[in-house]
């Protein structure tokens, strides 16, 4: 049975000079309105203990457009301006619910350049997209077709630091057919030498995209450092650096998409470990390599694709000793330094550290699937005694949200 989900389809497009100028003005106006509304809401709360909602900021926007100083806001579509006020309202809602920090002001140099249009701000007919305040439709490169009969509910136009233009079309009610069920299950252990090690023994090589382009990136950064601040040459050099970063990010994302799609298609149950990546990045010796591996992005892709196609992702607690536990006899080693990549158990079983960890993750995940979260694995210490009394940590796990 097909499920209906919201899916965004992102495409690159090439604007004319007039369209690029109009969109750049729109980005600037969106940033200006957002900052004005944030300042007004902050001032109202600090000085008058008054909460300002979306309706109040929308009325402020109408008043701002009538002033001589902000009359240029009338030159762009009002839809992206209203949408940025809704985004600010959502940011404050997350702040008051303690899900996020206090909203920050948008910066011309560092903030994302984007504008969001709802159905009243664009027209989509016969594969041609035309935005409000523009005479011609956008020249979009349709790298993949939209679902048949799809009608976008929201269109987001953006420009990245490398100067590339993108349009994202949000399609509501997009039909996704679950994959045929299978009995296959796999444990997945992430790493740096091998990006992934599967319980089947397969190891996926870490492509190390950042390392491959490190020399090119360093050269572009040195050229940028020599340019005069504020000059046009500095702007060109900054775009050159951004292009190298974009190349790295695009290759990394492409590799992760292909990898996660294959895993979801081949397996019904996928077991991964709950890693505290943010804490691991505090290790200066490994932070660069961990960032390049992009474990968090891998997990995110795996989770939403599994939800789309009717697969199960089980997340094992980070304190579960998957590397120290013998997958053959259940013995637990007292210590396991990172330099030890292969070890021999007291039962004479020789283990590859990563393959053994993936097998133990799979066993824990299957135990949770069968018996529920909070399952204790039957382990023993090398001296033959039960590990339950000595090992207080549980092999807890639960289905991902």
Tell me which residues are annotated as active site. 189, 273, 354
Burial class of 152 by CB neighbour count within 10 A (0 to 12, 13 to 18, 19+) = buried
Cα–Cα distance, 250 to 254 (Å, whole number): 6
Task: Quote the Cα angle for 51-57-59, to 5°.
Answer: 125
- The count of C-alpha atoms lying within 13 angstroms of the C-alpha of 321, restricted to the half-sphere facing its C-beta, is 23
Give the C-alpha distances (Å, rounded to integers) separating 167 from 8, 9, 28, 113. 10, 8, 17, 12
Q: Which of these, 300, 277, 303, 272, lies nearest to 289 by C-alpha position?
A: 277
Nearest CA to 104 out of 41, 56, 175, 164 is that of 41
Number of H helices, E strands in the chain: 10, 15
Which residues does residue 157 pair with via DSSP β-bridges, in sequence order? 115, 167
Question: Six-digit token pair at 291?
Answer: 């960032």
Of 246, 319, 325, 337, the closest CA to residue 279 belongs to 319
The terminus-to-terminus CA distance of the chain in angstroms comes to 21
């Amino acid at each position: 049975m097909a499920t209906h989900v919201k899916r965004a389809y992102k495409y690159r497009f090439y604007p004319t000079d007039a369209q690029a100028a109009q969109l750049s003005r729109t980005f600037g106006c969106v940033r200006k309105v957002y900052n004005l509304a944030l300042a007004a809401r902050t001032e109202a709360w600090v000085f008058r203990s008054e909460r300002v909602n979306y309706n109040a900021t929308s009325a402020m926007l109408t008043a701002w457009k009538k002033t001589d100083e902000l009359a240029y806001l009338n030159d762009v579509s009002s839809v992206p301006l209203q949408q940025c006020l809704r985004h600010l309202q959502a940011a404050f809602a997350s702040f008051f619910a303690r899900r996020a920090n206090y909203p920050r002001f948008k910066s011309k140099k560092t903030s994302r350049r984007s504008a969001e249009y709802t159905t009243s701000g664009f027209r989509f007919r016969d594969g041609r997209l035309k935005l409000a305040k523009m005479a011609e439709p956008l020249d979009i490169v349709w790298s993949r077709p939209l679902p048949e009969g799809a009608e976008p509910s929201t269109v987001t136009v953006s420009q990245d630091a490398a100067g590339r233009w993108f349009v994202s079309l949000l399609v509501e009610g997009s039909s996704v057919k679950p994959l045929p069920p299978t009995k296959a299950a796999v444990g997945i252990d992430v790493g740096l030498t091998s990006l992934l090690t599967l319980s089947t023994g397969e190891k996926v090589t870490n492509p190390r995209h950042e390392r491959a382009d490190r020399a090119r990136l360093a050269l572009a950064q040195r050229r940028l450092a020599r340019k005069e601040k504020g000059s046009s040459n500095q702007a060109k050099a900054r775009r050159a650096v951004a292009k190298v970063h974009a190349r790295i990010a695009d290759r990394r994302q492409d590799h992760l998409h292909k990898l996660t799609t294959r895993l979801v298609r081949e397996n019904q149950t996928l077991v991964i470990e709950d890693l505290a990546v943010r804490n691991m990045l505090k290790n200066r010796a490994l932070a660069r390599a961990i960032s390049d591996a992009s474990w968090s992005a891998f997990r995110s892709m795996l989770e939403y694709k599994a939800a789309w196609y009717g697969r199960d992702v089980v997340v094992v607690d980070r304190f579960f000793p998957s590397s120290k536990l013998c997958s053959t006899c259940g013995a637990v080693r007292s210590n396991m330094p990172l330099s030890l990549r292969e070890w021999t158990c007291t039962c004479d079983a020789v283990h590859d550290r990563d393959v053994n960890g993936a097998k133990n993750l799979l066993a824990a995940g299957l135990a949770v699937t069968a018996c529920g979260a909070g399952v204790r694995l039957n382990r023993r210490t090398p001296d033959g005694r039960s590990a339950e009394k000595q090992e207080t940590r549980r092999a807890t796990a639960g289905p991902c949200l």
